[in-house]
């Protein structure tokens, strides 16, 4: 019950906002100086969604598969790269500038090359998505691995913790909130990556569908496709957030009820 109410409280305001925007849009597209080829009404988009549901659904699965694989690859590689960079100061100094420089290379420009190297199957899409997504994961993980309290690491050393134990018991847990921040940004990027990848070399998927619909000037159908891409992005984001809440109860429960601190349970003395 409490959970339901919390979800309603969270979903209420954005839903109201969406309804207002859609209403204004409907109004403008109905009475404003625009043709439905330029700006279809939300109701037209909705019927395009329904009429093309099987075509859209088919291509949705294609794109969702690419995104999940690409996101997973970015997660693993982004994390390992961050651990590598944090493993020694020399490696950090050698690699970190190149990590940042890698973001100056526009992924849409290298996407065709990746298609040439790997072919037209799933691989180039997974690679392009991973390339778009790994950066926020890596950067946040690097920051997170710096976040552990140096005094805590000292304390663990006096308790005979070796390097691996200090990593597992202190550095990794301290990094987790940062890692999840990176994952949430990456979730939002992953959809963009999928569309790029499909534009340069694909014959299916929602990104590819947008290209074909664009050629046919099927504006309402394009909007419908874009709406689905948006939903995929939001769903992935919410999935990451859900996992985050499960994985970091300490992080959220400490913030939730900032009520009065509990009394000092001093019941000492007699039983010693």
Partner 1 sequence: MRSEKLQAERISKVYGGNGGRVAALHEVDLDVGAGEFISIVGPSGCGKSTLFNILAGLIRPSGGRVLLDGSPPDQLLGEIGYMLQRDLLMPWRTVLDNTCVGLELNGVGRREARERARAEFPRFGLAGFEQHWPAKLSGGMRQRAALLRTFLAGREVMLLDEPFGALDALTRRQMQAWLLDLWQADSKTIVFVTHDVEEAVFLSDRVYVMSGRPGRVVLCLDIDLPRPRRQDITMTEGFQALKARLMEPLEAALRETQPGAVG
Binding interface with partner 1 (CB under 8 A): 149, 151-152, 154-161, 165, 169-170, 173-174, 176, 248-251, 253-254, 261-269, 271-272
Provide, rounded to whole angstroms, the least separation between the CB of residue 183 and partner 1: 17
Q: What is the number of other CB atoms lying within 10 angstroms of the CB of residue 167?
A: 19
Give, in degrees to the nearest 5, the angle at Cα 85 between 80 and 87. 90
Q: How many helices (H) and strands (E) does the chain have?
A: 12, 0
Q: Which is nearer to partner 1, 73 or 247 (CB)?
A: 247
Instruction: From 138, 167, 139, select the one nearest 77 (Cα to Cα).
Output: 138
Provide, rounded to whole angstroms, the least separation between the CB of residue 141 and partner 1: 16
Provide, rounded to whole angstroms, the least separation between the CB of residue 161 and partner 1: 5
Q: Is 171 helix (H, G, I), strand (E, B) or coil?
A: helix
Q: Which is nearer to partner 1, 3 or 267 (CB)?
A: 267
Provide, rounded to whole angstroms, the least separation between the CB of residue 162 and partner 1: 9
Helical axes 122-146 vs 89-102, angle rounded to 10°:
130
Q: Which two tokens stand for residue 87?
A: 């493993």
Q: What contacts 24+ positions apart, CB below 8 Å, involve 83-88? A: 83/141, 83/145, 85/138, 85/142, 86/142, 86/145, 86/146
Provide, rounded to whole angstroms, the least separation between the CB of residue 203 and partner 1: 47
Q: Which is nearer to partner 1, 108 or 173 (CB)?
A: 173
For residues 55 and 9, what is the distance between their CA atoms, to the nearest angstrom? 35
Q: Which is nearer to partner 1, 139 or 170 (CB)?
A: 170
Cβ-based neighbours of 208, under 8 Å, separated by 6 or more: 59, 198, 199, 202
Provide, rounded to whole angstroms, the least separation between the CB of residue 152 and partner 1: 5
Q: Which is nearer to partner 1, 117 or 252 (CB)?
A: 252
Provide, rounded to whole angstroms, the least separation between the CB of residue 63 and partner 1: 36
Q: Which is nearer to partner 1, 30 or 165 (CB)?
A: 165
Q: Which is nearer to partner 1, 203 or 258 (CB)?
A: 258
Instruction: From 208, 139, 222, select the one nearest 175 (Cα to Cα).
Output: 139
């Amino acid at each position: 019950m409490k959970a339901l109410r919390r979800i309603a409280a969270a979903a209420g305001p954005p839903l109201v906002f969406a309804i207002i925007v859609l209403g204004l849009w409907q109004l403008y597209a109905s009475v404003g100086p625009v043709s439905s080829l330029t700006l279809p009404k939300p109701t037209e988009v909705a019927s395009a969604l329904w009429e093309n549901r099987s075509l859209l659904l088919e291509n949705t699965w294609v794109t969702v598969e690419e995104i999940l694989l690409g996101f997973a690859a970015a997660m693993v590689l982004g994390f390992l790269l961050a651990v590598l960079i944090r493993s020694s100061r020399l490696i950090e100094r050698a690699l970190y500038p190149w990590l940042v420089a890698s973001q100056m290379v526009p992924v849409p420009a290298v996407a065709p090359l990746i298609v040439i190297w790997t072919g037209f199957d799933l691989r180039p899409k997974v690679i392009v998505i991973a390339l778009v997504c790994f950066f926020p994961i890596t950067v946040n993980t690097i920051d997170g691995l710096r976040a552990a309290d140096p005094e805590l690491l000292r304390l663990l050393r006096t308790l005979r913790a070796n390097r691996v134990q200090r990593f597992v018991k202190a550095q990794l847990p301290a990094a987790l909130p940062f890692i999840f921040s990176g994952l949430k940004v990456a979730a939002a990027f992953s959809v963009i990556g999928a569309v790029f990848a499909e534009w340069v070399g694909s014959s299916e998927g929602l990104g590819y569908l947008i290209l074909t619909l664009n050629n046919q000037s099927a504006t309402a159908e394009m909007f419908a496709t874009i709406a689905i891409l948006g939903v995929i992005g939001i769903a992935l984001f919410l999935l990451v957030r859900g996992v985050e809440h499960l994985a970091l109860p300490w992080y959220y429960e400490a913030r939730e009820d900032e009520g009065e601190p509990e009394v000092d349970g001093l019941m000492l003395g007699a039983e010693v």
